[in-house]
Amino acid sequence: MTNHWRDIRHADVILINGANPAEAHPVGFQWMMRAKTDRGAKMIHADPRFTRTSAVSDKHLRIRVGTDVAYFGGLINHVLTNNLFHREYVEFATNAGFVVKEGFSFDEGMFNGFNADKKIYDQTQWTYELGPDGFAKVDIAHPRSVLNLMRQHYSRYTPEMVERITGIPRDEFLAVADIVGQTGKPDKVMTIVYAVGLTHHTTGVQLIRSGALLQLLLGNMGRPGGGMNAERGHANIQGNTDHAISWDILPGYLRAPAPGQKNLDDYVARSAAKKLQSNSLNFFGTNYRKFMVSLLKTWYGDAATKDNEFAFDHLPKPAADSSWLSIFDAALQKKMEGLMLSGMTATSIGPDSNQVLQALSNLKWLCVMDAYATTSSEFWRAPGLDPSQVKTEVLMLPATHWIEKDGSFTNSGRWAQWKEQVLPPDGQARHDHWILAEVFQRVRKMYQEQGGKFPEPILQLVMPYKDPAKPELDEIAQEINGKSLVTGQRLATFADLKDDGTTTAGDWIYTGHYPEAGNLTKRRDGIQDPAKNDPTGMGFYPNWAWSWPANRRVLYNRASADPQGKPWDPQRPGIQWDAAAGKWAGDVPDYPATADPAKAESPLPFIMTGEGVGRLFSNGVSDGPFPEHYEPIESPVQNPLHPKVSTTPVAFLYDERAGRQNRFGTPDKFPYVATSYRLTEHEHYVTQNVDQLVALQPEAFVEVPAELATEKGIKNGDAVRVSSMRGKLEVRAVVTSRLGPLTIDGKKVYQIGIPIHWGFVGIKTGQHWLANALTPFVGDASARTPEFKAFLVNIEKM
């Protein structure tokens, strides 16, 4: 989230896409209801199903899954065509006026720069025209200004085209466009709330970006009640992303180094943003080296010196994408020998669970660390598998769970909240981090005694804990914060990090969470005393826990005030310039604290980008500088915008690339669109171990539109078989009018809903069908997030 849960109550309009917060995030949803009840906010829910979120929304738009770019694109077109955008904000805080380099084109679904052999775009072709000073040329009236190119690009997204693609009737769309368009006024603000219903697509990154573009145009980024707000689905996905259990980043969103980068100069040159305006602060780009050197000093200590580039060579450099799908693809190709799964079950998660089961069977060894048995620890005896044929060696290590250890969880709103250990470990269970630390010590000992391939990083990794096999999470929190190697004192701000090897920081965005004064994530000054604990009255509660970075509660908040430093809406200030005091007041400013907006040399408002402003046009994603609608890989129709390039030309098709048989279905055999989701009473798969929750939602089912059920002779409660090209489910049908038919480009299209929670492990062992047996093994062009949310199936009465 750019903002945080409680902040949503400041919104005038709440646009919800790819999410069902009333059921999936019920307690967070109270802040959307508060916006409605306290200030009359309008709630608009675009979703294939009529859910409990829809039931309390002012408008529910039945949308075809995977078509949100068309919906947002239509809204962008509406806002641009009718000049409803927040002009002063757009000129102050976005790259609308930047001139794009000659050669930019978009034709029949293809941007310029496509390499047909490699099936990738050369993203460096999407750039700005530079002036003699080396900075981007700015001229909003130029035919190739970002604003004018955007007008042209989105002019195709007419209400009629939106209807053809999404299935939302033109009149309903226009009624919503009217509400959304009004939030371009300075005293109005809209929030966009989304979840994995946007991310789980081959166009997932662009689905979200299209919402962000709309928010920038309407002047809603950086403002209380505004922003792009992702609802994360697990307790600490946010914290574990921040700390980079992800192939492509290092802690604090530093890029993982890539082959060919020989030293830190190379690394920084290819990773950090370049300054593109004379008064762009480019804070991240400018300080990139300091954050990286401080990380290397933290990990490699005395072995990281100026002379050896602070042990830059110790960091592994991946050959190619190494994310979730790539792990199982490598196993299918028998290139992967071992897999460690800690609190994640590959089999249930999928996608294409049957193919994942094959991948697990191809491994030499699998180690599962979990509090409970999972469909991965038990995969070798999954229904239909013969254990004697599965040659994988499997370890199941009993791990503690959340209540048996301390440490912090970072919520969707970036609030890091410390939790105390409540119970001792159950039985023989051990903490995951103790298991990992102990194994590391054992492997290190083997390398000390026996040698082996490039042992230096293992031998030299700093383990500065009282017991290196049993680190305390408090010790690790201090390591993450970092310190001065000169004074030995923990740092209070990342502004003090250096690139000369005299500071450490395990994750620079968390520097300041544990200063000498103590661990700030333990703070609990909340609503017991609002007058004292919420001095601005805006709900920031700065002394409840701690949020990254710098305890800032709303990201990009410089854009909450006009160029002179006055809040766009004085009733809902983020930060404001206090001329008398000579500093910014309110939330922790996302800006130099004493930079006077009246001075011409004061930096541009978005300090983290090279441009100094928000990017309506960007070369940061691999499938286009502007979001474009492409069909899901499995779709019932050809793309009405450009049928010859129906799906994204740059999706990585794993099976095809590896020479395996194609596993995608076509609408003649699989005529119905399916999507997957959660129920309130379950969280993925772990809750199959909780009696009360299993009692509340005991059995796997699918939701079938009433009209389709009539066509197929399916009655409520009948057993049905739902099949895709990859697998099948045999479960009960819930016949419902919550899912209705859509008319897509003149064709009647049904959508089927599939809750994900069941598998062959759990209290009710009869419920063994894996929803992800149906889902396709393909992901987003940039992020490789699997397309769980839009695929084709057939359904038959059993």
Partner 1 sequence: MEVTRRQFLHVGAAGAVGAAGAGMSPLGFDLGAAVTVRQELRIAGATVSRTVCPYCAVGCALLAYTKKDGDGKTHLLQIEGDPDSPVNEGRLCPKGASALQLALSRRRVEAPMYREPGAAEWKQVSWDFALDVLARNIKESRDRTFVTTDFDGNVVNRCEGIAFAGGAAFSSEEGYLATKLMRGFGFVFLEQQARV
Which CB sits closer to partner 1, 177 or 250? 250
The residue assigned the tokens 């593109």 is 276
Which CB sits closer to partner 1, 234 or 797? 234
Helices marked H in 674-713: 691-696, 706-712
Asked if 369 interacts with partner 1 (CB under 8 A), we say yes
Which CB sits closer to partner 1, 282 or 767? 767
DSSP code of 314?
G
- Residue by residue, what is the 3-state secondary structure of 401-431? CHHHCCEEEECCCCEEEEECCCCCCCCCCEC
Which CB sits closer to partner 1, 182 or 342? 342
Q: CA 142, CA 15: separation in Å to the nearest integer?
A: 32
Which CB sits closer to partner 1, 56 or 461? 461
Q: CA 590, CA 609: separation in Å to the nearest integer?
A: 12
> Within 180-219, which residues bind partner 1 (CB under 8 A)?
199
Stretch that binds partner 1, among 35-43, 141-149, 245-253, 562-570 (CB under 8 A): 245-253
x-or-dash string of contact with partner 1, 328-367, rule CB under 8 A:
--x----xxxxxxxxxx-x--xx-------------xx-x
Which CB sits closer to partner 1, 541 or 591? 541
The DSSP element (H or E) to which 271 belongs, if any, is helix 264-271
The residue assigned the tokens 């033109």 is 170
Which CB sits closer to partner 1, 331 or 613? 331
C-alpha angle with apex 215: 611 to 222, nearest 5 degrees?
A: 65
Asked if 245 interacts with partner 1 (CB under 8 A), we say yes
Least distance CB 371 / partner 1 (angstroms): 6
Which CB sits closer to partner 1, 140 or 461? 461
Q: CA 442, CA 437: separation in Å to the nearest integer?
A: 9
Asked if 407 interacts with partner 1 (CB under 8 A), we say yes
C-alpha dihedral (40, 44, 45, 46), degrees to nearest 10: 180
> Within 473-492, which residues bind partner 1 (CB under 8 A)?
473-474, 476-477, 479-480
- Residue by residue, what is the 3-state secondary structure of 579-646? CCCCEEEECCCCCCCCCCCCCCCCCCCCCCCCCCCECCCCCCCCCCCCCCCCECCCCCCCCCCCHHHC
Taking a C-beta distance cutoff of 8 angstroms, is the pair 328, 359 a contact?
yes
The DSSP element (H or E) to which 315 belongs, if any, is none
> Within 766-795, which residues bind partner 1 (CB under 8 A)?
779, 783-786, 788
Q: Which one of 120, 179, 237, 734 is in contact with partner 1 (CB under 8 A)?
A: 237
Q: How far is CA 560 from CA 34, 91, 205, in A?
A: 21, 14, 25
C-alpha dihedral (700, 704, 710, 712), degrees to nearest 10: -70
Length of the chain in terms of residues written: 798
DSSP code of 395?
E
Q: Which one of 50, 106, 253, 372 is in contact with partner 1 (CB under 8 A)?
A: 372
The residue assigned the tokens 């947002």 is 72
> Within 749-768, which residues bind partner 1 (CB under 8 A)?
763
Q: CA 345, CA 120: separation in Å to the nearest integer?
A: 31
Taking a C-beta distance cutoff of 8 angstroms, is the pair 320, 120 a contact?
no
Asked if 316 interacts with partner 1 (CB under 8 A), we say yes
DSSP code of 795?
E
Asked if 314 interacts with partner 1 (CB under 8 A), we say yes
Q: Which one of 191, 238, 277, 675 is in contact with partner 1 (CB under 8 A)?
A: 238
> Within 1-20, which residues bind partner 1 (CB under 8 A)?
5-6
Asked if 388 interacts with partner 1 (CB under 8 A), we say yes
Asked if 120 interacts with partner 1 (CB under 8 A), we say no
Q: Which one of 121, 157, 310, 415 is in contact with partner 1 (CB under 8 A)?
A: 415
Asked if 319 interacts with partner 1 (CB under 8 A), we say yes
Q: CA 533, CA 435: separation in Å to the nearest integer?
A: 40
> Within 80-119, which residues bind partner 1 (CB under 8 A)?
none
Asked if 582 interacts with partner 1 (CB under 8 A), we say no
Q: Which one of 117, 118, 141, 428 is in contact with partner 1 (CB under 8 A)?
A: 428
Q: Of 47, 134, 253, 274, give the one whose Cα is nearest residue 738.
A: 47
x-or-dash string of contact with partner 1, 123-162, rule CB under 8 A:
----------------------------------------
Which CB sits closer to partner 1, 79 or 296? 296
Asked if 387 interacts with partner 1 (CB under 8 A), we say yes
What SS3 class is residue 509? helix
Other beta carbons within 10 Å of 436: 15
Least distance CB 552 / partner 1 (angstroms): 16
Asked if 318 interacts with partner 1 (CB under 8 A), we say yes
Asked if 512 interacts with partner 1 (CB under 8 A), we say no
Asked if 308 interacts with partner 1 (CB under 8 A), we say no
Q: How far is CA 178 from CA 39, 106, 184, in A?
A: 19, 28, 11
Q: Of 134, 177, 219, 64, give the one whose Cα is nearest residue 632.
A: 64
Q: CA 688, CA 677: separation in Å to the nearest integer?
A: 16
Q: CA 315, CA 323: separation in Å to the nearest integer?
A: 17
Stretch that binds partner 1, among 162-170, 283-291, 425-433, 698-706 (CB under 8 A): 425-433
Q: Of 484, 361, 367, 337, give the one whose Cα is nearest residue 435.
A: 367
Which CB sits closer to partner 1, 168 or 193? 193
DSSP code of 490?
B
Which CB sits closer to partner 1, 126 or 299? 299
C-alpha dihedral (385, 391, 392, 393), degrees to nearest 10: 120
Stretch that binds partner 1, among 68-76, 206-214, 526-534, 737-745 (CB under 8 A): 526-534
Q: Which one of 28, 113, 211, 753 is in contact with partner 1 (CB under 8 A)?
A: 28
Which CB sits closer to partner 1, 26 or 643? 26
Asked if 681 interacts with partner 1 (CB under 8 A), we say yes
Stretch that binds partner 1, among 120-128, 369-377, 610-618, 737-745 (CB under 8 A): 369-377
Least distance CB 316 / partner 1 (angstroms): 4
Q: Which one of 3, 191, 411, 618 is in contact with partner 1 (CB under 8 A)?
A: 411
Asked if 531 interacts with partner 1 (CB under 8 A), we say no
Q: Which one of 40, 141, 384, 389 is in contact with partner 1 (CB under 8 A)?
A: 389
Asked if 692 interacts with partner 1 (CB under 8 A), we say yes
Least distance CB 780 / partner 1 (angstroms): 8
Q: Of 79, 63, 82, give the one whose Cα is nearest residue 71.
A: 63
Stretch that binds partner 1, among 113-121, 178-186, 421-429, 724-732 (CB under 8 A): 421-429
Taking a C-beta distance cutoff of 8 angstroms, is the pair 138, 90 a contact?
no
> Within 436-465, which residues bind partner 1 (CB under 8 A)?
436-440, 442-443, 446-447, 450, 452-454, 457-458, 461
> Within 252-291, which residues bind partner 1 (CB under 8 A)?
256, 259-260, 262
Max CA separation in the chain (angstroms): 78
